[in-house]
């Protein structure tokens, strides 16, 4: 296990935001397929919508907003460390037919209250937390899930036999080969960000942490390289 002190995320991805938008638009990290997986998971559990939703590390909500327009929640709360992201999220979510609350804050703190949610969603955020904080995330998420609730976790995960160093090497080799639409400078900025801020875990570790927190993983989705959707319900 890779030891590191605490949340490796510095709080502002926004020097990289234009590059991240390019990655999303060109679908380099499989956002389209993962979004379809998320929409399917929501429909499987809530058919017409009408669920309370907490979105941790919502960013600008650009990817999630169209799904939520098709299957509207009863309420949406988004939490992020970046005010810039939250301002963009307000714009992207303004046509949702439900109350929208956006809060500046940390994902763990957002789970420390007594409120419960039918859906807790977090996409490409958990890998920023230290290993022990990820375990705390699952404990808090289990407490904050309503009885029929579901936790939808989209994130990068390393292969079972990959150390973090292996993962970085393989991930960067893949970017070098397949992310043709990014310039040299953009790729280098991604490498810098991922090397300093990303601590993906093997799926089995996350599954164990979730199980110990009282969550059961629903049947596996098909991964898109290192990019997964994991779905959990209360045991
Ligand atoms: C890669 S972006 C993902 C945005 C969006 N969820 C998506 O899938 O497109 C990661 C987001 O997580 C936020 N973030 C990182 N660490 C966080 C934390 N500990 N608590 C809340 N937000 C966090 C960042 O500010 C950023 O907006």
Strand partners, 234: 215
Ligand 1 neighbour 197 (Cβ under 6 A) = no
Report d(CA 200, CA 58) in Å as an integer: 18
Test site for ligand 1: of 5, 6, 9, most ligand atoms within 8 A of the Cβ: 9
Residue closest to 11 by CA, chosen among 78, 80, 81:
81
Q: Are strands 100-104 and 117-123 parallel, antiparallel or unpaired?
A: unpaired
pTM: 0.94
* pLDDT for res 15: 67
Phi-psi region at 160: left, alpha or beta (left = phi > 0; alpha = psi -120 to 50)? alpha
* Ranges of the chain with pLDDT below 70: 1-15
Atom of ligand 1 nearest to the CA of 61: 5
Ligand 1 centroid to Cα of residue 106, in Å, is 9
Q: Given this model, what pLDDT does residue 49 score?
A: 75
Give the residue extent of every domain in the chain.
8-28+124-143+159-211, 30-105
Q: For position 1, what pLDDT does the model report?
A: 33
CA dihedral 132, 133, 134, 136 (to 10 degrees): 100
> DSSP 3-state assignment of 27?
coil
Handedness of CA 164, 167, 173, 174 (dihedral sign): negative
| pLDDT value for 5 | 38
DSSP, collapsed to helix, strand or coil, labels residue 68 as helix
30-105: CATH topology is Rossmann fold (3.40.50)
Which atom of ligand 1 lies nearest, measured to the CA of 79? 21
User: Distance, CA 126 to ligand 1 centroid (Å)?
Assistant: 8
Q: Whose CA is nearest to atom 26 of ligand 1?
A: 59
Nearest CA to ligand 1 atom 27: 59
Q: What is the pLDDT of residue 89?
A: 97
């Amino acid at each position: 296990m890779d030891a590191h002190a605490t949340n490796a995320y510095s709080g502002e991805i926004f020097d990289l935001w234009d590059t991240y938008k390019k990655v999303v638009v060109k679908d380099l990290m499989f956002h389209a397929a993962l979004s379809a997986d998320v929409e399917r998971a929501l429909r499987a559990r809530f058919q017409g919508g009408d669920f309370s939703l907490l979105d941790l590390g919502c960013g600008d909500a650009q990817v999630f907003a169209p799904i939520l327009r098709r299957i509207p929640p009863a309420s949406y709360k988004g939490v992020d460390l970046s005010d810039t992201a939250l301002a963009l999220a307000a714009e992207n979510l303004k046509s949702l037919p439900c109350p929208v609350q956006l809060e500046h804050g940390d994902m763990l703190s957002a789970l420390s209250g007594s409120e419960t949610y039918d859906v807790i969603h977090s996409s490409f955020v958990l890998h920023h937390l230290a290993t022990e904080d990820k375990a705390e995330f699952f404990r808090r998420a289990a407490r904050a899930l309503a009885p029929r609730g579901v936790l939808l976790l989209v994130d990068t995960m390393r292969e079972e036999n990959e150390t973090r160093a292996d993962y970085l090497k393989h991930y960067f080799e893949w970017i070098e080969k397949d992310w043709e639409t990014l310039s040299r400078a953009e790729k280098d900025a991604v490498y810098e960000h991922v090397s300093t801020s990303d601590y993906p875990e093997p799926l089995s570790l996350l599954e164990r942490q979730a199980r110990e927190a009282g969550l059961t993983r629903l049947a596996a989705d098909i991964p898109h390289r290192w990019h997964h959707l994991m779905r959990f319900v209360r045991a």
